[in-house]
Amino acid sequence: MSFERLKLKNQLCFPVYALSRLITREYQPYLNRLGITYPQYLVLMILWEENSLTVNEISEKLILNTNTVTPLLKRMEKMGLIKRNRSQKDERKVEITVTKMGEELKIKASIIPEKLIQKLTNSNIKLNDLIDLKKRVEILIDYLNKK
């Protein structure tokens, strides 16, 4: 019996996992200056785009379970970045909105994507290759995320 398939070098998941961790590490100095974590940054980006969403909608967009997102949102509320309110239309739902403090971080955070792209394209990686990689990864995510 061959165990060639079980070697780390033959796995698709490991390079994707490692890349995700390494890119997140590149964000860290910028996020530290803002006093937020990468998951909190993701939540804020969603809210900057949409204004108000339910916990379920945020969970869906982040491809995370609500029991993972809820504690994250509670911490963000304690930090003053978001507000959590019961929906007027459906009491079972909790609506999340960004606060003034959370909105102010948007200006400071606006440089982060550009800085990351700058760093990556200062290597031998071309911007078009990064865009192509993103598109290919999104195709895999869409396929794997179908229910």
Range 53-56, long-range pairs (CB < 8 A, 24+ positions): 53/95, 53/96, 54/87, 54/93, 54/94, 54/95, 54/96, 55/84, 55/93, 55/94, 55/96, 56/93
Q: What is the pLDDT of residue 61?
A: 96
Task: Please indicate, yes or no, if residue 55 is contained in any of the structural domains.
Answer: yes
Residue 87 inside a domain? The answer is yes
As given in the structure block, the two tokens for residue 140 are 């895999």
Strand partners, 45: none
User: Does residue 112 form part of some domain?
Assistant: yes
Number of domains in the chain: 1
What's the one-letter identity of residue 15?
P
Domain CATH code at residue 101: 1.10.10.10
Report if residue 57 sits inside a domain: yes
At residue 94, φ and ψ (nearest 5 deg) are: -110, 125
Q: Would you say residue 145 lies in a domain?
A: no
Looking at the chain, how many residues does it have?
Answer: 147
Average pLDDT over residues 11-21: 95
Q: What percent of the chain has pLDDT over 70?
A: 99
Reply yes or no on whether the pLDDT at 147 is more than 80. Answer: no
pLDDT tens for 77-106 read: 999 999 999 888 888 899 999 999 999 999
Q: Tell me, yes or no, whether 25 lies in a domain.
A: no
Q: Long-range CB contacts (< 8 A, 24+ apart) of 137-144?
A: 137/16, 141/63
CA 101 remoteness from chain centre: 19
pLDDT in tens, 109-137: 999 999 999 988 888 899 999 999 999 99
Parent domain of 99: 36-123
